[in-house]
Amino acid sequence: MNTQRTAQASRTRRIARTRAKIAGTAARPRLAVRRTLQHIYAQLIDDAAGRTLVAASDLDLGTEATKGKRKTDRAQAVGALIAERAAAKGITAAVFDRRDKKYHGRVKALADGARAGGLNF
């Protein structure tokens, strides 16, 4: 059995199961979180129009803001950054999309940072 193909299929099923329950609109876009081993990315997506409204990542923070910080702290800063950019576009509410990840660790830290920045979900 090819374990890589099985793991990828399981991941795809988890993403589809999560996405079946949520959809973003212009008034309440989807806050999609992508977590890799080193970085974290967040986007506010209007699924009805099929376009990204706002995006942020820890790469946008700059080296001075991230130097010596833990990945969880950087994720919280990304959440605050996306909330700030969303407020500039007039977006106050969103639907949280954690994709295939558990609501734990860096994903939770990003959500907490976005909530502290004024984004409701």
Contact 96, 121 (CB under 8 A): yes
Note if the pTM is more than 0.75: yes
pLDDT tens digits, one per residue of 40-82: 999 999 999 999 999 999 999 988 878 889 999 999 999 999 9
Give the model's pLDDT for residue 67.
Answer: 85
Range list of β-strands (E), the chain: 30-35, 40-46, 51-57, 95-97
Q: How far are the Cα atoms of 4, 10, 20, 50 from residue 14, in angstroms, in the given order?
A: 15, 6, 10, 21
Q: What pairs with residue 54 in β-bridges?
A: 44
Architecture of domain 3-116 in this structure = 2-Layer Sandwich (3.30)
Higher-pLDDT residue of 30 and 64 is 30
For the chain, the structural domain boundaries read: 3-116
- Tokens coding 51: 């376009």
